[in-house]
Structure 1
């Protein structure tokens, strides 16, 4: 079932959203100082391509650096990536079949706004029981 959901997700929103994260990552790599943000952006792009069966959890070793980095990320790229998830989620919720995918988009908004200090783990991983 996860595979079917992921394939449908990929066709209707995953590919386009992942391209948005990839563009953000490329821009972050070009600016050199923001390379850690680019790494986070590419990590989330992969998650956005195939989200069902994975979860986002808070990293135990995240500290003040992640908090400061997230504040910068929101200003640089997070707000427009979150808007992409919001608008895509609303568009998908128009149809009954699209509602689960719209909800999945809404669940991706927090990680698009605050990606640092987060980790993507398989749903069966023991760390995935402490989902945000």
Structure 2
């Protein structure tokens, strides 16, 4: 099911979203000082290509001052605008019953687009507890 949702997502918005994140990543890496944001943009871009079956988790127990400051700068410069784009796209996708899972995936992208530093993207299965005998 997640493969089918990922293909539909890719065709109806994921590819364009990912291109936007990749373009932002290239610009940030060219400016050298903003390389951490560029790396984060590439990471989010790959997540935006295939969001179903993956989730975002915190990278560290407690983020450092540099991570928090970087996230605040990102929020003010780009994060708010990206989040507004995700909300607008989610509303458009939710207009149809078929688009509701896609709208949910768009909403799922908002937290990482607002505060990308200190996050990592992992398969959803890895969050399940493992038991060994």
After TM superposition, the score normalised by the length of structure 2 is 0.90
Kept in 2: contact 1:89–1:106 (CA 8 A): yes
Within 2, Cα distance between the matches of 1:66 and 1:13? 29
- Gaps (5+ residues) in structure 1? none
1:80-125, Cα deviation, whole Å (9 max, x unpaired): 2112211110110111110111111011111100011111001111
The equivalent of 1:72 in structure 2 is 73
The residue matched to 2:55 in structure 1 has which SS?
strand
C-alpha distance in structure 2 between counterparts of 1:84 and 1:125, whole Å: 29
- The reply on whether 1:54 has 2:48 as its aligned counterpart is no
- Distance in 1 separating the partners of 2:125 and 2:101: 20
User: Structure 2: 5+ residue runs without aligned partners?
Assistant: none
- Per the TM alignment, residue 72 of structure 1 is displaced from its structure 2 partner at its CA by 0.9
- Secondary structure of 2:32 counterpart: coil
CA contact (8 A) 1:21 1:81 kept: no
What is the SS of the residue equivalent to 2:109? helix
Q: Secondary structure at the match of 2:48?
A: helix
2:12 aligned partner = 12
- Does the aligned pair in 2 maintain the 1:17–1:84 contact within 8 Å? no
Superposed, which structure 2 residues align to 1:98-117 within 5 Å?
98-117=99-118
> Residues 6 and 51 of structure 1 are in contact (CA less than 8 Å); yes or no, is this contact kept in structure 2?
yes
Q: Does 2:42 correspond to 1:42? A: yes
Paired residues, number: 128
Q: 1:17, 1:85 within 8 Å by CA — same for their partners in 2?
A: no
1: CA distance between counterparts of 2:40 and 2:76? 15
TM-score (norm 1): 0.91
Match of 1:92 in 2: 93
